[in-house]
Structure formats: structure tokens, C-alpha cells
């Protein structure tokens, strides 16, 4: 049976390898996927070299799991919820696949007006399955509400940091015709203004927007290296594209000042509206990342 073991940072993690030569590394805290490498040694996820490896501190980079609250869209602290800072269990693993689990109380999804005595403490089960190979990374979260009486409301996202060599030569394609909510402007207001579409090709400054109800397939293309990654979903309606830009990046303790130049976050999820899982029911969300042959994009620089 696979097990977490201490790494060089004295944090419990596990590295799994596929027969095709690809590999992933996952941390016990948060079931945090920190690395996905293909057999050529290329790392497709960005992990900050200044990431903080401490209890109840989410790693900066990789794929933090956002649950049960997205950002400031609710009263919960810490923002983005508790799933990314709690220890998970390994359920099973085999060639190219691993599954992790976390239990939580229904009351934890109701930060106001619900006591732990209102429902079983382990009424909500998260089952996280990672499929990986040289060409594809598939992330699937299943949330099951075992309560007999109460609904389970939550927000969710795969907060995926994609490694790029240079931000200024990375084309983001897929949301040019999509309305958006500006997270800096909305301040967590679920009724925030929805802006009309604006072209987005190259991120040149801070960018923090949710494109709601799009089921977008996002394409990240490196203009020089001729590499491309497609990020898609069959069932998560919202996509957030985020990069802190130079000023905000410089203020982050767990990020080098030039870190913003080396990643783009593409997060699929249910962010602006809650998922509501009825009693004795389940919900599933999936994000699929596919490595494609790249080609220069027809975009104005």
C-alpha cells in the first residue's frame, strides 16, 4: 500500500510513477499536487521556490483544492476553505492513478448558525482521483453528502498553477468572447457586476477574473517553444484566470519577486454560485489538462 513519507522539507508526501515515465508528487496536507512531470523531465506545474512548508499553510503553486469557499465569496476563514490545509488519506493507487480522501462535518459548511450537534461530524466525504500520463492529467473530485436530512452547500475549484517559461510570450486563448467578474472589484460580492468580454491574449499586469457559466477550454501556448496545454472540463461551469502581476507578487512572502513571470493559474470550478448536494447524494467535478503539439498563435503582441 502506498504511503506518505517525509521529504527533504520534512513534510509527508508521495511520488508516484507511471510506466510511461511520467510522475506526480502529492502532499498529505491538502492532497496538494505539487508536481506533474512527463518522461522528458519537463515540469508542467509551477511550485514557488519560496513555498512555505508548514502545518495549515497552503503551498504556493501546484494544485491547491478550493473547498468549501472560493476566495472572499463567503464568511469563512481561511479564504479558499479548509480542504487545502488538512491532512488527507491515501485510498489506493496503481499505475497512472491515485485516490485520496477527506471527511468533514456538514456543520463546517455552515460557518454561521449551525452547531456540530446538528449533523454527523463526517457527513461529507471528498474523494479525489488523479489520473496522469505523459500527455494528460485528469483531476476528479467527488463530494458525497451522507446526511439523511441536510443539504451540503459549497464552492469548489482546482486552483491550478501552470508553469510557463516567460509570461510575455504565453498566449491565453479561450475567453476572448466571455463576460467576466473582476475579483479585485467584486470583493466577494456574489452579485458583482458582470463585465462585457475583453480580448485576452498576453497577460501583462495583474489579472484576476472569473468567467462564469462558460465551460471554457483554455489553451496556453508558448510562442517560442511551440508547446501548448489545453485545460478543459466536462462539468465545471466557471473558470478563473489569475496572475498577481509584478506589484502584488513582490508583496507575497512565499513568492520570488519575478515569480509572476513563470506561471498562469487556470482554475475550473463552481466559484460564484454554490453547489448544493441533496441528502444521500453526490456531486462530481473534473478538470482535464492535455499536452498538445504547440504552434505560434495568430495574435497581436
**CA 301 and chain centroid, separation:** 28
Contact 109, 124 (CB under 8 A): yes
| 88 alpha carbon, distance to own chain's centre | 16
Residues annotated catalytic, as ranges = 159, 267
C-beta pairs of 75-83 under 8 Å, 24+ apart in sequence: 75/111, 75/112, 76/111, 80/159, 81/154, 81/155, 82/108, 83/30, 83/31, 83/126
**3-class secondary-structure state, position 216:** coil
Q: How far apart are CA 180 and CA 171, in angstroms?
A: 18
| 27 alpha carbon, distance to own chain's centre | 14
Q: What are phi and psi of 250, to 5 degrees?
A: -65, -25
183 neighbors 209 (Cβ within 8 angstroms): yes
Answer whether 25's CB lies under 8 Å from 34's CB: yes
Amino acid at each position: 500500500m502506498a504511503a506518505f513519507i517525509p521529504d527533504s522539507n520534512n513534510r509527508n508526501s508521495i511520488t508516484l510513477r507511471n510506466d510511461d515515465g511520467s510522475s506526480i508528487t502529492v502532499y498529505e496536507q491538502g492532497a496538494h499536487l505539487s508536481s506533474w512531470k512527463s518522461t522528458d523531465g519537463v515540469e508542467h506545474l509551477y511550485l514557488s521556490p519560496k513555498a512555505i512548508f508548514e502545518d495549515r499553510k497552503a503551498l504556493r503553486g501546484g494544485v491547491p483544492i478550493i473547498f468549501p469557499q472560493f476566495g472572499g465569496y463567503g464568511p469563512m476563514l481561511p479564504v479558499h476553505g479548509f480542504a487545502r490545509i488538512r491532512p488527507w488519506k491515501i485510498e489506493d493507487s496503481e499505475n497512472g492513478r491515485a485516490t485520496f480522501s477527506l471527511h468533514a462535518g456538514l456543520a463546517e459548511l455552515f460557518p454561521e448558525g449551525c452547531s456540530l450537534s446538528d449533523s454527523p461530524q463526517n457527513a461529507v466525504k471528498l474523494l479525489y482521483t488523479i489520473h496522469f500520463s505523459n500527455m494528460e492529467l485528469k483531476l476528479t473530485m467527488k463530494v458525497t453528502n451522507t446526511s439523511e436530512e441536510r443539504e451540503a452547500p459549497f464552492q469548489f475549484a482546482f486552483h491550478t498553477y501552470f508553469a510557463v517559461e516567460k509570461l510575455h510570450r504565453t498566449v491565453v486563448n479561450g475567453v476572448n468572447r466571455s463576460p467576466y467578474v473582476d475579483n479585485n472589484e467584486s470583493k466577494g460580492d456574489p452579485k458583482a457586476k458582470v463585465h462585457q468580454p475583453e480580448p485576452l491574449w498576453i497577460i501583462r499586469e495583474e489579472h484576476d477574473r472569473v468567467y462564469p457559466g462558460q465551460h471554457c477550454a483554455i489553451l496556453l501556448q508558448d510562442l517560442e517553444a511551440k508547446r501548448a496545454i489545453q485545460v478543459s472540463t466536462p462539468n465545471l461551469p466557471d473558470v478563473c484566470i489569475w496572475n498577481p502581476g509584478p506589484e502584488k507578487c513582490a508583496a507575497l512572502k512565499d513568492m520570488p519577486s519575478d515569480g509572476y513571470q513563470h506561471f498562469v493559474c487556470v482554475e475550473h470550478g463552481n466559484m460564484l454560485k454554490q453547489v448544493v448536494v441533496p441528502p444521500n447524494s453526490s456531486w462530481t467535478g473534473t478538470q482535464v489538462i492535455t499536452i498538445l503539439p504547440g504552434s505560434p498563435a495568430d495574435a497581436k503582441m
